[in-house]
Structure 1
Amino acid sequence: MTERVYLSAPDVGAAEEACLVEALRSGWIAPLGPDVDSFEQEMAQRIGRRYGVALSSGTAALHLALLSKGIGPGDIVLTSTMTFAATANAIVYTGAEPYFIDCLPDTGNMDPSLLREALQDLVEAGERVQAIVPVDLLGKSANYSEIQAIAEEYKVPLIVDAAESLGAKHEGKPAGAWGDIAVFSFNGNKIMTTSGGGMLLTDDEDVAAKVRYLATQARQPVVHYEHVDIGYNYRLSNLLAAIGRAQLVRLDEMIAKRRQHREAYKQLIAGVHGVSIFGGEDDQNDNCWLTSLLIDPSIAGFHAADLSAELSMQNIESRPLWKPMHVQPVFADARRLVNGSSEQLFKTGLTLPSGSAMTVQTFKRVQDAIATFFESRCSV
């Protein structure tokens, strides 16, 4: 069988190997070390934040972001329904209640008008809304100029889940520069990776200090092990931070490669009726982490699942857009304010291989498979 093509395989090479070997030879093998410190500083500088805290995952960063704001049982956190489960799970870890807000159909990101409506209704009902957690979908920043204004009006902390949007911008500001706190993920499939890992960014010194404290098992600054709070083993290792530093240097190069794939997909579907690039009409500020098609079967004559099945036969990975949290069995009883947009995107969206590690030959294989399917199934 031909080699499998993944949606977003890690893009690592000689630069990452050299940094990892250097970190190994330095002797800083145990969790923290100089590469962690430098990675935090370099990430904060890139985004324009005062403080960065390197953590074991984006989920850990979300969890500690919420805890740093005192969120717990009895609190409500408004969040995007169009997201991966980690966003909602982190809220549940604290004992708070996730309340799901639907998206704008053209971006998949939180609809500010629905956010305002839900927030107003909950506040008027006397309920404790303690945070807003929007999610940047597939590398496109949410409308933070509106969302942040709403958060400030209601005096609710804004925690930005920018796990997918490192390198993107909104109104000239980098993803991660908006909100009280922002978090990134460096999971193996993200735009840059540390194998597993994440980063919390903030301008609040007290928040950064509390997150560092909680992430290192809440150890008190004494010779023996002393604990007055429940802590977590959430820090990023020095070795993984070394990989992250090399990846950060290459970030713009990797984004450019993904954008090339995005533009090639646009050309591939040009003139194919009923097929469009999700968010493609306004993507100049995106990081193009993943490129997805939207397929209207009433026009195209086929469903997203049909193309996915054909790609699977060619050993090429594809995937629907996120299944909304409010239709996930685990959150079936969760409160939500929805307009149907996220469910429609889940039904009609298909994500294609987008990784910067793909060779020219590999990407051509994907293009040829899609083009052949189009020729057999629809009129151009």
Structure 2
Amino acid sequence: MPLVSASPFPVLAFPRAGRTASPAPDPDRILLSPPHLTGGELASLQATLAAGWVAPAGPVPAAFEAAVAKVTGFPHVLAVASGTAALHLGYRILGLTAGDEVWTATLTYVATIAPAVQMGARPRFLDVAADSWTLDPELLERELTRAARRGRLPRAVVPVDIFGQSCDLDAIRGLCDRWGVPVLCDSAEALGAMRRGRHAGLGARLAAFSFNGNKIVTTGGGGALASEDAGLIAEARHLATQAKEPAPHYQHETTGFSYGLSSILAAVGLAQLGVLPARVAARRAIFEAYVAGLGDLPGIGFMPEPAWSRSTRWLSVVTLDPRRGGPDREAARRALAEAGIEARPVWKPLHLQPVFRGAPQAGGAVAAGLFEHGLCLPSGSGLSPAEQGRVIATLRRLWPG
């Protein structure tokens, strides 16, 4: 018996996954980080649908949560609709209210801080360390000391694991513990990353992960909130399911959200998680191939990896210094675009974003310099050697001689 009965509606033809759908799709275009399927997703979906599970409930999301827990080392995990939803829940259960301060690294995507701002919090942006591109612990210590003297400590500190690189969470957590400030780690880009033998995010009060289509493991869209505190995840689960109280009727003592991850997306994630080690190895190999193919060029640098960390190299990032004889970042990006290759600048620091004009900051020069000079290169784990060779050859042509 077919899984899906005949339908009176027409069957739609879609462009190939991971390729542009704008007027004339180019099958030869190389994307920055397209989804990479394992081949096991269809069987997982078929089993889920055959069992009748579609909604964000039942054994499939629970199995996905258990698999994420096993990968990350967090004993308690809640699967949700997006990484942003995970962050929003994190802010909510930390008791964030209007007027509270939230501190985060300025070098990050807007989703890190957007839920807090939408809740009425006041953001403060801190610079990153040059040796990790993540929140600078020395700067954080200085700012926490000053805030304690003023009697105005932040409600939460939100370090960010960037481009597959874990922040120095041990140092950050130690500083925040000194003043009783909870840490919510934005680990959206760092599934599979390690620091000092522990998974990225592990040790924070809460950590948020993303399974967006461009991530190293994807559910097509989805996220997770994780903690070593069972009570926090129980509270988050309550809020993520519209805060329904146990009653035969619909009873609510507070308002919640519809943030659950569907069984269908969880089924995709289950098929993906099993290949995480291979995906990490593939992306690290891609980074090393860029180093081998471009490292001799003057003015080029590569995102550092501190000795205490093992990055997934979710994205391979280079820096370009035209003062030393190479192209600037925009010239390189445009040349790659003309060759059918997607590349993007590193995140524009939040303290430079118009929406946060006037927000307080501490430092910012390191992050601003990385934005000016940093370029993310194609890094998908399905990138072929021939495709990577095209990227390298296109870039090498921008140097004289």
Q: Secondary structure at the match of 2:347?
A: coil
1:31 deviates by: 2.1
The 10-residue stretch of structure 1 (341-350 or 2-11) with the greater mean CA deviation from structure 2: 2-11
Q: Does 1:201 align with 2:223?
A: no
* Deviation for aligned residue 1:44: 1.1
Q: Of 22, 30, 37, which aligns to 2:62? A: 37
What does residue 4 of structure 2 align with?
none
Please point out which of 100, 115, 118 is paired with 1:90.
Answer: 115
| Residue 293, structure 1, aligned to residue 315, structure 2 | no
Q: Secondary structure at the match of 1:99?
A: strand
Residue aligning to 1:121: 146
Distance 1:326 1:93 in 2: 17
Q: 1:284 to 1:211 in 2, by over 3 A?
A: closer
Q: How much does 1:52 deviate? A: 0.3
Residue 214 of structure 1: aligned partner:
239
1:302 aligned partner: 327
Q: Deviations over 1:317-345 (max 9, x none)?
A: 00011100001000012111014000000
Aligned to 1:267: 292
Higher relative helix content? 1
Deviation, 1:121, is 1.6
- Shift of the 184–48 alpha-carbon distance from structure 1 to 2, 3 Å rule, reads same
Counterpart of 2:45, as a letter, is: L
* Secondary structure at the counterpart of residue 254 of structure 2: coil
Asked if structure 2 preserves the Cα contact closer than 8 Å seen for 1:220 and 1:227, the reply is: yes
Helix, strand or coil: the match of 1:166? coil
Provide the secondary structure at the position in 1 that maps to 2:155: strand
Deviations 1:28-79 (A, max 9, x none): 0122221100111111122112200000011110110111111111211111
The secondary structure found in structure 2 opposite 1:190 is coil
- TM-score, normalised via structure 2 length: 0.91
Q: CA deviation at 1:2?
A: 5.5
Q: Distance in 2 between matches of 1:32 and 1:136?
A: 29
Once the two structures are TM-superposed, the CA of residue 125 in structure 1 deviates from its matched residue by 1.4
The separation in 2 between residues aligned to 1:68 and 1:260, in whole angstroms, is 39
Consecutive unaligned residues of structure 1, counting only runs of 5 or more, are none
In the alignment, which residue of structure 2 is the partner of 1:378?
400
Q: Does structure 1 conserve the Cα–Cα contact (< 8 Å) formed by 2:38 and 2:272?
A: no
Whole-Å separation in 2 of the counterparts to 1:2 and 1:309: 19
> Is 1:254 the counterpart of 2:279 in the alignment?
yes
* Contact 2:196 2:308 survives alignment (8 Å): no
Give the aligned partner of residue 323 of structure 1: 348
Aligned residue for 2:287, secondary structure, equals helix
Q: For 1:299 and 1:154, how far apart are their aligned partners in 2?
A: 44
Opposite residue 85 of structure 1, the aligned amino acid is V
1:241 matches 2:266: yes
Aligned partners of 1:269 and 1:276 also within 8 Å: no
Name the CA distance, whole Å, in 2 between partners of 1:127 and 1:44: 35
Corresponding residue to 2:77 among 29, 42, 52: 52
TM-score (ref. length: structure 1): 0.96
Q: CA deviation at 1:186?
A: 0.5
- Which residue in the other structure is 2:17 paired with? none
Alpha-carbon distance change, 250 to 226 in structure 1, aligned in 2, over 3 angstroms = same
**1:346 alignment partner in structure 2:** 371
How far off is 1:283 after superposition?
8.9
Q: Secondary structure at the match of 2:181?
A: coil
Could you tell me how far apart the structure 2 residues matched to 1:5 and 1:213 are? 42
Aligned to 1:175: 200
**Aligned equivalents of 2:75, 2:285: Cα separation in 1:** 33
Q: Which residue of 2 aligns with 1:22?
A: 47
Report the Cα offset of residue 119 of structure 1.
1.5
- Return the alpha-carbon distance in structure 2 between the equivalents of residues 282 and 313 of structure 1: 37
Identity %: 38
Residues 364 and 106 (structure 1 numbering): CA distance in 2 closer, same or farther, change over 3 Å? same
Q: CA RMSD in A?
A: 1.5
Summarize deviations over 1:80-120 as a string: whole Å, max 9, x none.
Answer: 10000000102113221111110012321001111112222
Matched, 1:132 2:160: no
SS state at 1:184 partner: strand
**Aligned partner of 1:275: which letter?**
I
Corresponding residue number in structure 2 for 1:311: 336
CA drift of 1:282 comes to 5.2
Structure 1 residues 248 and 62, CA gap change in structure 2 (3 angstroms): same
Cα distance, 1:159 vs structure 2: 0.9
CA distance in structure 1 between the partners assigned to 2:212 and 2:307 by the alignment: 26
Residue 18 of structure 1: how far off its partner (Å): 1.4
Q: Is the 8 A contact 2:76 2:227 kept in 1?
A: yes
Pairing partner for 2:129 from 90, 104, 108: 104
